[in-house]
Amino acid sequence: MKLESIIQKDQSLLYMERYVGKGTKTYSPFATRTEAAPCYRPESGQPSFDLFTVDTPRDRVSIFKADPSPNLVNHYIRPGGVLFAIHPETWTTAGVDYLDEIHALPRAEPVRVAPTASTRTVLTLEPSEKVPPHYIKLHYPVLISRFNRRLMRKNIENSVAVTRDVAKLHFDKFAYLPDVLGFTFGSDENSWGFLVRETTPRPIIEGRFLIPSFALYGEDYKNPDDLPLLVQMIERLDVEPVSFAVNEIFVPIIECWCLVARRGLLFESHAQNTLLEIDQDFRPRRIVHRDFDVWIDMETRRRADLEMPFLGKGLSADKGHSIEQYYSLIYDRFIGHGFFDYLLDLLKRFYSVDEESVRSQVRKAFHQSFPEADRFFPTDTMFYFSKEPPPGREFMLEDMQRVPEWR
């Protein structure tokens, strides 16, 4: 993909989501595993598909809001009920709670969508004049990577609550794609539904463009001879590669992550959940965050005297793991191994780079942004998913017995 096309094509972001990620999923043996049908995967050649929708009685649906645009509210919350969206594979999956009841409801107009990098989050296409394009994150109970991608009430309610919480942050490098609406069908712990995410980062600044972070170093499936976008950006701006990457990507990612971590929110700020916002001159401006179904450190929020608008008891409720293990998993492995290692490898392939110098600068920035980190992280080691979780558990964390390279 050519860098210039990012600000010339309306569909450039969707193209990057789907096709500029070759070679970016080698961080885990599960990273490329998916049970999604081929036609619903982001890299498929199928340009779009239709979601099922039903007209749902208002009293059967719970609704959660975080300052959505009026047009989105009016599109989904109607005088006669709620427009409820279902992935086509979920629609035909046996054993899904409430599905028989949903099948019995009146069908509404289908919604034309395209998958994004996460597969179960889709972008609406061909919207009406009154409905802006938006993302829909769906209940999709199939294995993608390591986990079953259910979207339950807790996930939905907390994602909207996190959106409201981060709206209070003010940092010039931090932006986010808000999960503005959430809907669940049913009234018990098995209720499930979908999220509506706006496409414009907040705080809103016009004249900006987005690059999914993995597309900075990923190969284009359709144009394999094109240089990685980060290399094209460095050459176009005529900047020193290492200082540019450190100051414009590594350090802002760290500063933003630490900012929200100190509020007890463990953002999974890996290369799929972060986007680089650039201006019309291709200069990086902000780190844009998405997907707020995150672990919450309730004790940190209590110490900071912050609100507790979340379902569940947070990390302290899981007796099988310490809080330090979660912090290590997110920062050391999801961000460090699954994102920073790839950026560093790109710099090493194209430029003369002192690897330890880069890591040292990043470590220094981390401790400047999170001076109390030693209270939250394990000493001199990292934790990651075990290959064989015990029966009855989705995952287990184990000591890798390796010194963390990025902190």
Six-digit token pair at 57?
């009685």
Identify the three-state secondary structure at position 251.
helix
Separation CA 296–CA 263 (nearest Å)? 9
For 1-31+205-406, give the CATH class. Answer: mainly alpha
Separation CA 300–CA 227 (nearest Å)? 43
The 10s digit of each residue's pLDDT in 64-86 is 999 999 999 999 999 989 999 99
Which regions of 227-373 does DSSP assign to beta strands (E)?
A: 265-266, 274-278, 284-289, 295-296
Cβ-contact 277, 209 below 8 angstroms: yes
Write the DSSP symbol of residue 1.
-
Radius of gyration from C-alpha coordinates of the chain: 21
The 10s digit of each residue's pLDDT in 160-214 is 999 999 999 999 999 999 999 999 999 888 999 999 999 999 999 999 999 999 9
pLDDT band at 374 (very low <50, low <70, confident <90, very high): very high
The 10s digit of each residue's pLDDT in 292-331 is 999 999 999 999 999 999 998 888 655 678 999 999 999 9
Q: Is the dihedral of CA 174, 177, 180, 181 positive or negative?
A: negative
Q: What is the arithmetic mean of pLDDT over 370-396? A: 89
Separation CA 404–CA 8 (nearest Å)? 41
Q: What is the arithmetic mean of pLDDT over 368-381? A: 97
Q: What is the pLDDT of residue 146?
A: 86
Cβ-contact 136, 113 below 8 angstroms: yes
Residues of the chain with CATH 1.10.510.40: 1-31+205-406
The 10s digit of each residue's pLDDT in 204-243 is 999 999 999 999 999 999 999 999 999 999 999 999 999 9
Q: What is the arithmetic mean of pLDDT over 356-363? A: 98
Q: What is the pLDDT of residue 316?
A: 64
